[in-house]
């Protein structure tokens, strides 16, 4: 069974940094591209980043380009999202996803 | 960037109804569209990939169709467990983009 478990969310101040993790199991992690998608409170879904299976290519939404970095460690079956210069508008539930499978999300709140 | 416009924004239906919702892309996205269902308090779940392929375990009352710029999700026989927000996603070009969603409710 495919499982994706996000962690690392929390309450942070504007301008600070945070690193999210997503531990994958139930499939060959090193063979698949992975996504981060977020959802602000009571808002719709926003795709924010993709990393290829071998980290050879990374793509970002305009809203996070230059501030967020997606990465992965295939030896640990783990996907990461490093978030810098956080803003109030980055407040959201952050999901990792692979194909039809999504995690339960981790909540990031940016507030002074 | 490709804008995905969903309509209607919301709709009320009854059990047994046939429901149709639309997603229009601002440029040609081929068949690179997925449909997602998000029930209250849950993570989204993908129903349809490549515009018309049902994911494993998705009831056959859910049908996706379309190509190019116009896409449709149809629920042939609305069930009590189907109220949710439905989103389309284009994965033809970066950045990938979601529609704003169609909220489906029971009367």
Cβ contacts below 8 Å, chain A against chain B, sum to 45
Per residue of chain A (112 residues), give pLDDT as tens: 999 999 999 999 999 999 999 999 999 999 999 999 999 999 999 999 999 999 999 999 999 999 999 999 999 999 999 999 999 999 999 999 999 999 999 999 999 9
Residue B107 confidence (pLDDT): 92
Q: What rounded mean pLDDT belongs to chain B? A: 97
User: Please, which residues have CB within 8 angstroms of residue A55's CB and are 6 or more apart in sequence?
Assistant: A71, A72
**Nearest CA of chain A to the CA of B101: how many Å?**
7
Residues of A in contact with B50 (CB under 8 A): none
Residue B61: which pLDDT band, with cuts at 50, 70 and 90?
very high
Which SS3 state, helix, strand or coil, does residue A66 take? coil
First vs last Cα of chain B: how many Å apart?
36
**Nearest CA of chain B to the CA of A98: how many Å?**
10
Distance CA B97, CA A60 (A): 11
Distance CA B23, CA B51 (A): 11
First vs last Cα of chain A: how many Å apart?
40
Residue B6 confidence (pLDDT): 98
Residue B10 confidence (pLDDT): 97
């Amino acid at each position: 069974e495919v499982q994706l478990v996000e962690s690392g969310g929390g309450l942070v101040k504007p301008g600070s940094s945070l690193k999210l993790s997503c531990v994958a199991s139930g499939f060959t992690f090193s063979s698949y591209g992975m996504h981060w998608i977020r959802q602000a409170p009571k808002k719709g879904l926003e795709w924010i980043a993709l990393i290829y299976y071998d980290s050879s290519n990374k793509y970002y939404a305009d809203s996070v380009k230059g501030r967020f970095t997606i990465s992965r460690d295939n030896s640990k079956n783990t996907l990461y999202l490093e978030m810098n210069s956080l803003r109030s508008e980055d407040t959201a539930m952050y999901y990792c996803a692979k194909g039809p499978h999504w995690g339960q999300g981790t909540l990031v709140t940016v507030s002074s | 960037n490709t804008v995905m416009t969903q309509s209607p924004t919301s709709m009320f239906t009854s059990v047994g109804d046939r429901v149709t919702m639309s997603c229009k892309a601002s440029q040609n996205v081929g068949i690179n569209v997925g449909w997602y269902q998000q029930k209250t308090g849950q993570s989204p779940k993908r129903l349809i990939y490549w515009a018309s392929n049902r994911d494993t375990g998705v009831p056959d009352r859910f049908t996706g169709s379309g190509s190019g710029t116009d896409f449709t999700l149809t629920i042939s026989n609305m069930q009590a467990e189907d109220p949710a927000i439905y989103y389309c996603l284009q994965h033809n070009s970066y950045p990938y983009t979601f529609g704003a969603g169609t909220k489906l409710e029971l009367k």
